[in-house]
Amino acid sequence: MRLVGAALFALLLGLGACAAPPVTPAAGSEAAAATVSGAPAGLELTALQNATYTGIYDKPVPLHDGRYEGEPFVAGGASRPTVTLAANAVAYGDLTGDGVDEAAVILAESSGGSGTFIYLAAVGLAEGAPHNLATALLGDRVQVEGLAIADEQITFQVLRAGPRAPDCCREEAPTQQWALEGDALVLVAGEPISQASK
C-alpha cells in the first residue's frame, strides 16, 4: 500500500459556514514533490492533471493543468461546467492483480450552482499514457480522508453531515472500499452516500 502526499489529508469541497476550499499544493511544494516522486512512470501528477476522464459528463473531459472549463451555459454568461483534480488526493497501488500500479484520484465537478460533486477515478497506463479506467460519483460536497490502495481496493473515509449537524458541517466518517470490476468502480464495503445523486 502506498499513500502519496501527506500521510493523512482532508479534502473538503463544500460550501457554507463550515466548508473550506480544496487544498492543492503549489508547484514545487513538499507535498507536490512527494506526490510526483512516488508515482509510477507515466502516472506522475502532471500526467494525471493532463489526462482525459469519462463518466462525469456525456462526453470525455480533458484536463489541462488539473482543470477543465466547458463553454458557458448561456452565451456570455459566467456559469460553466468545471472539473478539477485534487493534487493532494492521489494514491497508487495495484487494482487489477497484474503487479502493475494504477492511480486513484479525486475529481470535483461544479456546474455553477451550489453543488460540488465529488468523483473517484481509477487511472491506468495505455501505451505509456494515463488512461481513465473507471469513474464513480461519491456525492455532493463530501470530504475524503486517507485515500489509499491496498489489496486491490481503494480505501478512504468519507465525512458527511451527521443526523444532528447542519449540512455544511461534517461529523460522521464511514470507511468505504471500492474495487475495479471490468470498466466500473464498485463499492464493496461501506455505506453509500445518500446525497450521491446529480
CA distance 115 to 101: 32
CA distance 125 to 180: 15
Question: How would residue 18 be classed by pLDDT, with cut points 50, 70 and 90?
Answer: very low
User: pLDDT digits over 76-93, tens only?
Assistant: 666 788 999 999 999 999
CA distance 175 to 184: 19
| Grid cell listed for 144 | 475524503
Of the listed ranges 52-56, 65-69, 77-81, 114-118, the least confidently predicted one is: 77-81
CA distance 156 to 171: 15
Q: Are 185 and 134 in contact (CB under 8 A)?
A: yes
Total length of the chain: 198
Q: Where are the domains of the chain?
A: 2-71+78-189
User: pLDDT digits over 156-189, tens only?
Assistant: 988 865 555 555 555 566 789 999 999 999 999 8
